[in-house]
Structure 1
Amino acid sequence: MIVLGWREWLALPDLGLARVRAKVDSGARTSALHVDEQWRFVERGAPWVGFRLTPGRAHAGVVEAAAPVLDEREVVDSGGRRSRRVFLRTRLCLAGREREIEINLTDRRGMLFPMLLGRSALDSAFMVDPARSFLHGRPPANPRP
């Protein structure tokens, strides 16, 4: 099993995100990605979600992506507030491993990390050492497709 720190760099290459700072949170069941804006559309008869985000500093640029909608569920945040969120499946690259994970899209504008990596993404592959951080460095600037 690979040990992660409480914060790590990861990549979501299918969404065009080469480097994203994430808080690794084994107390959160699901993973969440900050989006500035999202919209729904239909592609070949199936529901999709398009979204726009600024993954790092404002000068780093805006990323626009789209993915099929996996599900829509109620999520309770750490403050006890309920909201209905869109979920999608995407490829995670972290610590030299790749795996498919579910993430939900939400507004994390007031948070320090644009991504929260929850325990369902860690399952059977990663352990967390809360005393350490950024154990695996930054992913390469250009993830492979």
Structure 2
Amino acid sequence: MTAKITVGWREWLSLPELGIDRIKAKIDTGARTSCIHAINIKEYEVNGEKWVKFTAQPLQEDEQTQVTCNVKVKKKKYVTSSGGQRELRYFIETTLHAGNDSWPIEITLTKRSTMKFRMLLGRTAMENRIVVDPALSHLL
């Protein structure tokens, strides 16, 4: 088994397949699924498969920096937020780059404009790869 990466409670990550070079994420062991701030979500079809086009705004308090993403839909299902609200979300799979390591993760698309972090990294994306030190930040 490879050594686990130690991260703080917030980290700079990247999602290279989506064209997102830097996004500050809250490392959230209380959340099962990971999510990213996405607006203007439009579903379309490619060769009989569902895809989505969306706009990511990866930087906090910066709506001018935008990345247009196109990605295949893995599934669409209801997710319950920490506030208890159920929301139908698109699930996609993409590569997460954390420090010197990369691996595929499942991530949902949701509007997070009122939230402090544009991305949450949930437990399933961290499983067997990450250890969180909640006293630290920005280790990667």
TM class by shorter chain equals over 0.9
1:21 matched to 2:24? The reply is yes
What is the alpha-carbon distance in structure 2 between the residues aligned to residue 14 and residue 27 of structure 1? 26
Code of the aligned partner of 1:2:
I
SS in 2 for 1:64: strand
Q: Give the aligned partner of residue 96 of structure 2.
A: 92
What is the alpha-carbon distance in structure 2 between the residues aligned to residue 71 and residue 108 of structure 1? 20
Code of the aligned partner of 1:118:
G
Q: Return the offset for 1:67.
A: 0.5
Q: Give the aligned partner of residue 141 of structure 1.
A: none
Q: Give the aligned partner of residue 45 of structure 1.
A: 48
Q: Return the offset for 1:58.
A: 3.1
Gapped regions of structure 2 (runs ≥ 5): none
TM-score normalised per structure 2: 0.94
How many residue pairs get matched? 135
SS in 2 for 1:70: strand
SS in 1 for 2:115: coil
RMSD: 0.8
Code of the aligned partner of 1:16:
G
What is the alpha-carbon distance in structure 1 between the residues aligned to residue 96 and residue 114 of structure 2? 24
What is the alpha-carbon distance in structure 1 between the residues aligned to residue 57 and residue 84 of structure 2? 26
Q: Identity rate of aligned residues, in percent?
A: 42
Match of 1:66 among 70, 82, 107: 70
Gapped regions of structure 1 (runs ≥ 5): 137-145
TM-score normalised per structure 1: 0.90
Runs of 4+ that moved beyond 6 A: none
Q: Give the aligned partner of residue 112 of structure 1.
A: 116
1:10-65: CA deviation from partner (whole Å, max 9, x where unpaired): 00000000000000001100000001220000011100011012211234x21101
1:61-106: CA deviation from partner (whole Å, max 9, x where unpaired): 2110110000111111010000110000000000211000000000
